Amino acid sequence: MKTIATTLLGVMAILFAVSARLKPAYPLLAWVEAFSEAALIGGLADWFAVVALFRHPGGIPFPHTAIVPHNKDRIGVQLGIFIEQNFLTPSNIATRLRELGLARQLLAGSPSPTTGARSLRPPARWCRVCSTPSTMRRCARSSGASSPKRSSSSIWRAQAARCSRS
């Protein structure tokens, strides 16, 4: 990208010089000269502005250059404050949590207040033995185990025996 930008800057410099030289013989080249001059000045201004943010252009310590290296700690603190005040507000976080539907997902797996039964079956991946999703659901339902973390190994052995029979 840097090569392309430098090449285009050189092309605009050559185009400006040629059009300025040939303008007396070809008056319409005044438009080309104006275009190439504007492009050349804009390119140089952009180059200087970007370079001046990070270092001293040409090694000359112009005033107000090398701004980022000298102020990186202050810039970091101010950026953190900006993000905290504009993106991490309680209303923004509440909106994002509402969009995720975490409460709905948590309540879907909790026992029903009237029957005490779970509203959803245990996830199929709790069965360590079966290979098909339908068999996994059947085995997870028939074992009486709610999760591998809370069940004993004997329950899982019994479940494995049920899975191999079905």
At 157 the pLDDT is: 60
pLDDT tens per residue, range 110-162: 665 565 555 554 444 444 455 444 444 455 444 454 444 444 555 556 655 65
In a domain, 32, yes or no: yes
Query: Does the structure show a pLDDT above 80 at 46?
Result: yes
Say if residue 42's pLDDT is above 80. Answer: yes
Asked whether residue 11 carries a pLDDT value surpassing 50, the answer given is yes
> 112 and 118 in contact (C-beta within 8 Å)?
yes
Mean pLDDT (the chain) is 77
Look at residues 29, 54, 79 and tell me which one is the last residue of a structural domain. 54
Domain annotation covers residue 59: no
Give the rounded percent of residues in the chain with a pLDDT score beyond 90.
40
> Is 76 inside a domain boundary?
no
Are the CB atoms for 62 and 56 separated by under 8 Å? yes
- The residue among 102, 146, 107 whose CA lies nearest residue 123 is 146
What is the reported pLDDT for 145? 46
User: Domains in the chain: how many in total?
Assistant: 2
Give me the mean pLDDT over the 30-48 stretch: 94
- Give the lowest-confidence range in 8-17, 18-27, 48-57, 114-123: 114-123
Which residue among 39, 54, 69 closes a domain? 54
3-state DSSP assignment of residue 95: helix
pLDDT tens profile 61-74: 888 888 899 899 99
Could you tell me the residue range of the domain that residue 44 belongs to? 2-54
